[in-house]
Chains A and B, each alone.
Chain A
Amino acid sequence: MTDWPSDLLGHPLLSPALLMIVGGFVLAASPRQVHGVWLLAIPAAALALLWQLPLGLHGEISLFGFDLTMLRIDGLSRIWATIFLIGSFLSGLYALHVRDRIQHVASLIYAGAAIGAVLAGDLVTLFIFWEGTAISSVFLIWARRTVRAHIVGLRYLVIQVTSGLLLMVGTIIHYRATGSIAFNHLGLETAGGWLIFLAFGIKAAFPLLHNWVQDAYPEATVTGTVVLSIFTTKLAIYSLARGYAGTELLITVGAVMTIFPIFFAVIENDLRRVLAYSLNNQLGFMVVGIGIGTNLAINGAAAHAFAHILYKGLLFMSMGAVLHRVGTVKASELGGLYKSMPWTAAFCIVGSMSISAFPLFSGFVTKSMILTAAAEQHHWIAWTALLLASAGVLDHSGIKVPFFSFFHHDVGWRVKEAPLNMLLAMGAAAFLCIGIGVYPAPLYAILPFAVDYSAYSTAHVINQLQLLLFAALAFVVLFRNGWYPAEIRGLNLDSDWVYRHALPAMAARIHRALVATREHARAKLGRLGSGSYGWLKSHYGSTGALSRTWTTGVMLLWAGVLLALYLVIYY
């Protein structure tokens, strides 16, 4: 493989993204027996191909009058493509038992589109694959085949396509302003830049643009959620890193993103939705990193995305396994599953410790880079927000998710352990989480910029300690409010524990206010929505005035009116 002719290697058709997409189509037409092999072989082959490609721009083709660059291999794009392919491999392994052709095809194409977008050297190529991720991913939601999934999927699709359209318009404006479609630093100086920023923002789930994540991800299939959690948002993070590194606004946006989902995550009962909120929070870290924009911060964002895909995927996988076996992931209906699903529980705890950035786990070595970068650049407010958020992560993802599902009081579920392929996928992800935490050098080696950073070096020890101290402090606070003992006695707690003790009084008030506001807004919007829907339906529905058959007289009357209009205007 190493002695492929070099001119062949730069060929636009020889791209990992196309390999994945074509693989998806081939899978669609191939018999079920080979699906498993295909799901694993294609990402592996694409990964091999990716690392065969030399750095630089390849795959120039001319499409509808533009010279497109299909492949841009540099540090930033390569690490993203790598982790996407690893994620695709793991999710393929996780989905081996699924006998649903559509899901397999959609996940391969979706992954291929995401990788294509990451490798895109210009905005048009980016847009093409950007839309590709939108369209292919919705099938993973629809494949759940519930009424809710149908509706949610359509809603999700509309939001994703909106993002794509904004990107398209932004690109056109940008092209007209600068005469270039190259996807390099864009900045917010032009209207096009803002539109593209907004497009990225929707996919990156910026605050107030974030709802689709919590709306859609928990509604997808068991494996679909895992796949979804890997690509779309991280693609947006990559795009931000490419186009808007060092944009001050992102620091604020990111800080808000890290903080606000925590409250919602704590009061949410659906554990996959809890994870969706914490996904949002983790994205905030990366966005802050990009906003800071120094080499270290970008490295941090990239590394964190890398680690994040693994541990978030791991957490979604473990919750998926629970959903697969038990049939629900409602916190209030789960408990004591560690007896039935010990391996899943163990892997889930690894994921939780990673996301909470325990030392020797992957989150620790990546998140600290962003914090250090924030401290170096004296963004103290953002730094504080990140610290607070880190503590929050511990609360909802680190403790809540494994605790409520696997420990807590035993509600009597006696189910089988997750299928072997799921365990293998989780095991591999868990191994990588710990591996990166213990020995981060290989990860650092593929970061976009040369790394002079070590999570365990003396120069940064103080920051690490501060983070840990802060987390410990949060623990203590919780302890004094009656949380910590509860966790100790976790296995024989009453089910109403969460309502009596769980939340410190002040946090509870904030929650109540937030919930009330949210419900209020929801009701308002709901009324507005159903009101306008009703109006539309009454006018355009099958019996609506604007869509049922008119009499010939009415039709002709319009012709007369229009003619009169023209004549009046002309005279």
Chain B
Amino acid sequence: MQMLLTETMPGLFNYWIVIVLMMIGFYTVIAHDNLVKKIIGLNIFQTSVFIFYISMGQITGSTAPILMHGAAGQQAVYAHPLPQVLILTAIVVGLSTTALALALVVRIHEAYGSIEEDDILAADYQRGTQESQKEQERMARARAAERHASRDADDGREQDEDAPDS
């Protein structure tokens, strides 16, 4: 029975769930434009890992690793407590990440008026393209304003070397 449980589908049920959740989470982060949905995806993704850790500390028929007194305590099989402790830490980390991410989304919404990544990137691209055009023009202007000959003159009149240097 035990063999059956651990090595067949039902016994690995937790791990299948882990994989499915992980895929869902990862897919959501990749595929969704909405920043909040991305965060949700990220949370699902992280949660799958939490379940993964908890599952590996599991012993068939065991109980939560809370010390029991008396006879029950003597006979009880406890789940491995260490992964659970670890995951407590990881949950805290995940929580902070989510909080920070949400705070960023609020700020992004204030700054861009949207929380769709495409919109934001489009705004950035547009701005970036404008800026790079502006920079190109500035470069061209700066070049044109130089005290010197045109591009194709290969003797390049020597000008004004005596200009003061400060």
Is the pair B117, A551 in contact by a Cβ cutoff of 8 Å? yes
Is the pair A328, B162 in contact by a Cβ cutoff of 8 Å? no
Residues 109-129 of chain B, each 1 if its beta carbon lies under 8 Å from chain A, else 0: 000000001100100110011
Q: Which of B29, B153, B157, B159 contacts A553 (CB 8 A)?
A: B29
Is the pair A553, B30 in contact by a Cβ cutoff of 8 Å? yes
- Smallest Cβ distance from B113 to chain A, in angstroms? 18
Inter-chain contacts of B155 with A (CB < 8 A): 218, 270, 323, 328-330, 333
Residues 240-283 of chain A, each 1 if its beta carbon lies under 8 Å from chain B, else 0: 00000000000000000000000000000010010000000000
Is the pair A147, B151 in contact by a Cβ cutoff of 8 Å? yes
Is the pair A148, B151 in contact by a Cβ cutoff of 8 Å? yes
Answer whether A218 and B154 are a contact pair too, CB < 8 Å, given A145-B148, A147-B143.
yes
Which of B124, B158, B159, B165 counts the most A-chain CB atoms under 10 A from its CB? B158
Is the pair B132, A542 in contact by a Cβ cutoff of 8 Å? yes
Which of B125, B132, B161 counts the most A-chain CB atoms under 10 A from its CB? B161
A551 to B132, CA, bound (A): 20
- Within 8 Å of chain A (Cβ to Cβ): is B164? yes
Is the pair A149, B156 in contact by a Cβ cutoff of 8 Å? yes
Is the pair A552, B117 in contact by a Cβ cutoff of 8 Å? yes
Q: Would you mind naming 17 contact pairs between A and B with Cβ atoms under 8 Å apart?
A: A97-B162, A98-B161, A99-B162, A100-B161, A145-B148, A147-B143, A148-B151, A218-B155, A221-B158, A327-B157, A543-B125, A543-B132, A548-B125, A548-B128, A552-B29, A553-B29, A556-B30
Is the pair A222, B117 in contact by a Cβ cutoff of 8 Å? no
A99 to B118, CA, bound (A): 55
Inter-chain contacts of A273 with B (CB < 8 A): 154
Inter-chain contacts of A148 with B (CB < 8 A): 149, 151, 153-154, 156
- Within 8 Å of chain B (Cβ to Cβ): is A549? yes
A14 to B65, CA, bound (A): 76
- Within 8 Å of chain B (Cβ to Cβ): is A557? yes
- Within 8 Å of chain B (Cβ to Cβ): is A460? no
- Within 8 Å of chain B (Cβ to Cβ): is A6? no
Q: Which of A99, A147, A553 contacts B146 (CB 8 A)?
A: A147
Inter-chain contacts of B159 with A (CB < 8 A): 327
A148 to B117, CA, bound (A): 43
Residues 197-226 of chain A, each 1 if its beta carbon lies under 8 Å from chain B, else 0: 000000000000000000000110110000
A143 to B144, CA, bound (A): 17
Is the pair B118, A551 in contact by a Cβ cutoff of 8 Å? yes
- Within 8 Å of chain B (Cβ to Cβ): is A146? yes
Is the pair A543, B129 in contact by a Cβ cutoff of 8 Å? yes
Inter-chain contacts of B165 with A (CB < 8 A): 32, 99-102
A323 to B158, CA, bound (A): 7
A221 to B149, CA, bound (A): 13
Considering the complex, give the chain B residue whose CB is closest to the CB of A223: B161
- Within 8 Å of chain A (Cβ to Cβ): is B163? yes
Considering the complex, give the chain A residue whose CB is closest to the CB of B164: A99
Answer whether A222 and B30 are a contact pair too, CB < 8 Å, given A148-B151, A549-B121, A551-B121.
no
Inter-chain contacts of B156 with A (CB < 8 A): 144, 146, 148-149, 219
Considering the complex, give the chain A residue whose CB is closest to the CB of B135: A542
Answer whether A542 and B129 are a contact pair too, CB < 8 Å, given A147-B151, A552-B38, A556-B26.
yes
Is the pair A222, B158 in contact by a Cβ cutoff of 8 Å? yes
- Smallest Cβ distance from B78 to chain A, in angstroms? 34
* Dominant secondary structure at the B interface: loop
- Which chain A residues have a beta carbon within 8 Å of chain B's beta carbons? 32, 97-102, 144-149, 218-219, 221-222, 270, 273, 323-324, 327-330, 333, 541-543, 548-549, 551-553, 556-557, 560
A566 to B157, CA, bound (A): 60
Inter-chain contacts of A329 with B (CB < 8 A): 155
| 14 additional contacts (CB under 8 A) given A146-B156, A327-B157, A542-B128 | A98-B162, A99-B161, A99-B163, A146-B146, A146-B149, A148-B154, A221-B158, A221-B161, A327-B159, A330-B155, A543-B125, A552-B117, A553-B30, A553-B31
Considering the complex, give the chain A residue whose CB is closest to the CB of B160: A145
- Smallest Cβ distance from A95 to chain B, in angstroms? 10
Considering the complex, give the chain B residue whose CB is closest to the CB of A219: B156
- Within 8 Å of chain A (Cβ to Cβ): is B147? yes
Residues 14-56 of chain B, each 1 if its beta carbon lies under 8 Å from chain A, else 0: 0000000000001001110000001000000000000000000
Inter-chain contacts of B125 with A (CB < 8 A): 543, 548-549
Considering the complex, give the chain A residue whose CB is closest to the CB of B38: A552
Inter-chain contacts of A100 with B (CB < 8 A): 161, 165
Q: Which 6 A-B pairs have the closest CB atoms?
A: A542-B132, A146-B148, A327-B157, A553-B30, A328-B155, A146-B156
A552 to B146, CA, bound (A): 42
- Smallest Cβ distance from B51 to chain A, in angstroms? 19
- Smallest Cβ distance from A404 to chain B, in angstroms? 13
Considering the complex, give the chain B residue whose CB is closest to the CB of A150: B143
Considering the complex, give the chain B residue whose CB is closest to the CB of A102: B165
Considering the complex, give the chain B residue whose CB is closest to the CB of A95: B161
- Smallest Cβ distance from A53 to chain B, in angstroms? 35
A465 to B129, CA, bound (A): 71
Considering the complex, give the chain B residue whose CB is closest to the CB of A327: B157
Which of A101, A219, A541, A553 counts the most B-chain CB atoms under 10 A from its CB? A553
Is the pair B29, A556 in contact by a Cβ cutoff of 8 Å? yes
Is the pair A147, B30 in contact by a Cβ cutoff of 8 Å? no
Inter-chain contacts of A149 with B (CB < 8 A): 156
Q: Which of A98, A99, A147 contacts B148 (CB 8 A)?
A: A147
Is the pair A324, B30 in contact by a Cβ cutoff of 8 Å? no
Considering the complex, give the chain A residue whose CB is closest to the CB of B132: A542
Inter-chain contacts of A102 with B (CB < 8 A): 165
Inter-chain contacts of B161 with A (CB < 8 A): 98-100, 221-222
Answer whether A560 and B158 are a contact pair too, CB < 8 Å, given A99-B164, A145-B146, A146-B149.
no
Answer whether A549 and B124 are a contact pair too, CB < 8 Å, given A145-B148, A323-B158.
yes
Considering the complex, give the chain B residue whose CB is closest to the CB of A563: B26
Inter-chain contacts of B30 with A (CB < 8 A): 552-553, 556-557, 560
- Smallest Cβ distance from A535 to chain B, in angstroms? 18
Inter-chain contacts of B117 with A (CB < 8 A): 551-553
- Smallest Cβ distance from B139 to chain A, in angstroms? 10
A100 to B166, CA, bound (A): 10
Inter-chain contacts of A219 with B (CB < 8 A): 156
Inter-chain contacts of B157 with A (CB < 8 A): 327-328
Considering the complex, give the chain B residue whose CB is closest to the CB of A272: B155
Residues 42-77 of chain B, each 1 if its beta carbon lies under 8 Å from chain A, else 0: 000000000000000000000000000000000000
